[in-house]
């Protein structure tokens, strides 16, 4: 029998961790809820674990939101991929940084030229690629609750 904090843990659901990047490091996080039914379905299928739809997340004020960059094309690496089947997501403002929040506005990233596509591992990399004209970034209008399990220099 597995115990944690004096409580039996057998039969308690476990959330599957998802790989991503923040500040150049690989991190792990979970998908808790999404504001959009379509993305909730995509995330549920991707992880094999239900992601409930909470439309009110889309009404969260900007002060409660950080960004997650999801790639619509580009590199399809061996191993973990993002929800759109390309490189893993990139997060700004990880745990320990000013303005950390688990509520993430999905920013869709599109490479303008597949030959220039590369794996980006930080929000600074995303901004540099945008400034160089290599990518376009657009706000999807979708918010997902994505708390970190690990982050640069720490973990739960």
Q: Is residue 10 part of a domain?
A: no
Structure tokens, 58: 């889309």
Decide if pLDDT at 9 tops 80: no
Q: Is residue 6 part of a domain?
A: no
Q: How far apart are CA 134 and CA 23, in angstroms?
A: 20
Decide if pLDDT at 1 tops 60: no
Q: Is residue 156 part of a domain?
A: no
Decide if pLDDT at 15 tops 90: no
DSSP structure class, residue 85: S
Q: Is residue 39 part of a domain?
A: yes
Q: Is residue 8 part of a domain?
A: no
Convert the pLDDT of each residue in 43-85 to its tens digit. Answer: 999 999 999 999 999 999 999 999 999 999 999 999 999 999 9
Query: What is the pLDDT, as a whole number, of residue 142?
Result: 98
Convert the pLDDT of each residue in 79-115 to its tens digit. Answer: 999 999 999 999 999 999 999 999 999 999 999 999 9
Q: Is residue 110 part of a domain?
A: yes
Residues ≥6 apart with Cβ < 8 Å to 13 = 49
Q: Is residue 40 part of a domain?
A: yes
Q: How many CA atoms lie within 13 A of 144 on its CB side?
A: 28
Count: domains in the chain: 1
Task: Kindly list the strands in the beta sheet with 103-111, ordered across the sheet, starting from the edge strand earlier in the chain.
Answer: 25-29, 18-22, 90-91, 66-71, 103-111, 135-145, 33-34
- Kindly report the pTM of this predicted structure: 0.92
DSSP string, 105-127: EEEEEEES-GGG-----SHHHHH
Q: How far apart are CA 97 and CA 105, in angstroms?
A: 17
Structural domain containing residue 145? 16-150
Q: How far apart are CA 126 and CA 71, in angstroms?
A: 11
What does the chain come to in residues?
A: 156
Query: What is the pLDDT, as a whole number, of residue 4?
Result: 58
Convert the pLDDT of each residue in 120-155 to its tens digit. Answer: 999 999 999 999 999 999 999 999 999 999 999 999
Q: How far apart are CA 147 and CA 30, in angstroms?
A: 6
Query: What is the pLDDT, as a whole number, of residue 11?
Result: 75
Q: Is residue 139 part of a domain?
A: yes
């Amino acid at each position: 029998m597995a115990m944690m904090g004096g409580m039996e843990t057998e039969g308690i659901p476990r959330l599957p961790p998802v790989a991503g990047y923040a500040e150049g490091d690989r991190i792990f996080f979970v998908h808790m809820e999404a504001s959009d039914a379509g993305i909730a379905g995509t995330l549920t299928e991707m992880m094999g674990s239900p992601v409930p739809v909470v439309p009110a997340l889309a009404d969260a004020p900007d002060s409660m939101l950080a960004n997650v960059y999801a790639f619509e094309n580009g590199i399809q690496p061996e191993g973990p991929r993002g929800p759109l089947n390309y490189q893993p997501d990139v997060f700004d403002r990880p745990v320990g940084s000013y303005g950390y929040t688990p509520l993430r506005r999905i920013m869709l990233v599109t490479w303008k030229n597949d030959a220039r596509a590369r794996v980006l591992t930080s929000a600074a990399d995303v901004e540099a690629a945008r400034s160089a004209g290599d990518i376009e970034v657009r706000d999807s209008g979708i918010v997902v609750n994505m708390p970190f399990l690990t982050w640069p220099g720490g973990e739960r």
